Structure 1
Amino acid sequence: MTQAAGRDVEYQHEGTRMLGLVMAPQGGAAGDSSAAAVLLIHDAFGISEEMIGNATRLAAAGHPVFLADVWGERATPASATEIGPLIGAMVQDRDRWLGRVAAAHAALDAQPELAGRPLALLGYCFGGSSALEYLRTGAAVAGVAAVHPGLDLLDQDWSAPGSGSVLLMIGTDDPMATPPMRHRLEEHLSSAGLDHQFHLYSGTTHAFTSPKAAASPEPEVFAYNARSAARAWAATTGFLAELSAPAS
């Protein structure tokens, strides 16, 4: 493990100010250009301390990270009354939603710490849905990892997908990623010829990686699961290692 250092990156989309975050390895790992870069897409709570913590852990493992700001102005909604309208607005205007992901991708490409590396998209909850939607509409990346994504948010038109391997990490009891939803997505990925794998965690619902959900008022809908969270992290880091280019 190594140290990590962060810096803010301002970028724009259709007049909205975005404030992303680069988290880059320091020390010996900083010179390893073979490690995959990560475009990390936050969950519904925005660029929270939890998401920054994930970026820091990835950078400490040698992967430079660009943490996207999908909501804009680095908004961090704190309740369902704030989150619902934000997600609803994106689902109703997918061009704007995916335009914001594309703007983050472009901002990432301009950062010297991340340029020229294999690129993986990593998203949690809403961010996982965002990563899959970006792939569905043509993104060409090395890989996409989605942790408890809301499959209920996905469009079903996979007629012009991008490229990249796909890793899905989902609780078997997640009401936002039911067996029929998972089966439908698997059919789309197979039809598109995309390499993919599903990791299913028993006794696990939505948002299982978030300690904020440890005292969930609706554990049948969302709840923290430490064992599943650890398994998902191990799967994610293994996936990133697989995507990383061989050292020259």
Structure 2
Amino acid sequence: MKNLKYLILVLLAYSNASLAQLKAISYKDGNQVLNGFEISPPEKSTQKPGILILPAWMGVDKASKDIAASLADLGYYAFIADIYGEGNYPKDNAEAAQKSSYYKTNYKEYQKRISLALDQLIRAGASPDNIVVIGYCFGGSGALEAARGHLNVKGVVSFHGGLARDPGRTIEPIAAKVLVCHGADDPYESKEEIAAFQQEMRDTKADWQMIYYANAVHGFTNPEYGNDNSKGAAYNEKAAKRSFEHLKLFLNEVLGK
């Protein structure tokens, strides 16, 4: 028992040390100041791949910082994007819904903010031609927009993200590989939206995967959502662990690690 407690303390200390390596980075979109975070792997090299992280609708949060630290521990450069910018961070869910909806509708602006964050990831040291974009909830929608916008990324991963797109948009081939990790009971994505997304993937000739997790609703990777599925968004430990393993498999395949 003492050995187990010691091991837990060591793991917690290691995790906290990784988080401490996160560095705040200010950059700009015109006059708009953006505030992201970067973290480097233990062994730095310009040949190492990079992961761009797009946070959920409240913006940069603990969950995005935790995943950045975990990815750095695995040997990746990571950068957490700031989509909203200084002075525009939502104060509550109502504001987050309004602000995130703006970027979903004005997807070109969303793609531009993602592109600017990619530049920061490369400046941090990541190989410019070996990058994957991952996103959570609103950020998951952004990951798909990175693929739709033909940004220079090898793959994109959406965790419980929005799948919808304006049906009037032109269908164009998607080169980036696509992984969607989706709660089987997510109440925020209709059967029609899921079917339309899957048809989009077929029409664009994408190399895509969509994995469903049983008993999981929206936000299943975030412990801060609690575990009450009836609220529509809730943490599911099993789904969170499985989806992280699926992420690692995807990264190994796409980035050649």
Is 1:133–1:155's contact at 8 Å kept on the other side of the alignment? no
- 1:26-53, CA deviations, whole angstroms, 9 ceiling, x for partnerless residues? 1xx434835x310110111211122111
* Structure-2 separation of matches of 1:78 and 1:161: 38
AA of the residue aligned to 2:44? A
| Residue in 1 that maps onto 2:183 | 171
* Structure-2 separation of matches of 1:109 and 1:160: 26
* TM-score in terms of structure 1 length: 0.87
Is 2:129–2:153's contact at 8 Å kept on the other side of the alignment? no
Structure 1 unaligned runs (5+)? none
SS state at 1:231 partner: helix
Alpha-carbon distance change, 77 to 215 in structure 1, aligned in 2, over 3 angstroms: farther
Alpha-carbon distance change, 75 to 161 in structure 1, aligned in 2, over 3 angstroms: farther
Please list, as runs of the form range in 1=range in 2, the aligned pairs for 1:111-130 lying within 5 A after superposition. 111=124, 113-130=125-142
* Structure-2 separation of matches of 1:194 and 1:127: 20
AA of the residue aligned to 1:145? V
Q: 1:98 aligns with which of 96, 111, 118?
A: 111
Alpha-carbon distance change, 134 to 31 in structure 1, aligned in 2, over 3 angstroms: closer
* Structure-2 separation of matches of 1:89 and 1:106: 23
AA of the residue aligned to 1:222? A
Is 1:223 the counterpart of 2:234? The answer is: yes
Q: 1:33 aligns with which of 43, 47, 57?
A: 47
- 1:94-136, CA deviations, whole angstroms, 9 ceiling, x for partnerless residues? 222222112212222333x213451101000000001112211
Please list, as runs of the form range in 1=range in 2, the aligned pairs for 1:61-72 lying within 5 A after superposition. 61-72=74-85
* Structure-1 separation of matches of 2:141 and 2:121: 19
- 1:179-233, CA deviations, whole angstroms, 9 ceiling, x for partnerless residues? 33222111111211111111101111101111111155x6252111111011111
* Structure-1 separation of matches of 2:230 and 2:135: 22
Residue 176 of structure 1 and its aligned partner are, at CA, apart by: 2.3
* Structure-2 separation of matches of 1:125 and 1:91: 12
Q: For structure 1, which segment, 63-72 or 113-122, has the greater mean C-alpha deviation from structure 2 after superposition?
A: 113-122
Structure 2 unaligned runs (5+)? 1-10
Is 2:129–2:154's contact at 8 Å kept on the other side of the alignment? no
AA of the residue aligned to 1:24? S
Structure with larger Rg: 2
Is 1:83 the counterpart of 2:96? The answer is: yes
Alignment length (residue pairs): 240
Residue 178 of structure 1 and its aligned partner are, at CA, apart by: 2.9
Q: 1:11 aligns with which of 27, 41, 49?
A: 27
SS state at 2:256 partner: coil
Is 2:129–2:152's contact at 8 Å kept on the other side of the alignment? no
Alpha-carbon distance change, 78 to 213 in structure 1, aligned in 2, over 3 angstroms: farther
Is 1:148 the counterpart of 2:164? The answer is: no
Is 2:56–2:139's contact at 8 Å kept on the other side of the alignment? yes
Residue 17 of structure 1 and its aligned partner are, at CA, apart by: 0.5
* Structure-2 separation of matches of 1:14 and 1:169: 34
Is 2:174–2:205's contact at 8 Å kept on the other side of the alignment? no
| Residue in 2 that maps onto 1:236 | 247
AA of the residue aligned to 2:183? G
SS state at 2:176 partner: strand
Q: 1:213 aligns with which of 212, 225, 232?
A: 225
Is 1:122–1:144's contact at 8 Å kept on the other side of the alignment? yes
Q: 2:212 aligns with which of 200, 204, 207?
A: 200
AA of the residue aligned to 2:33? R
SS state at 2:212 partner: strand
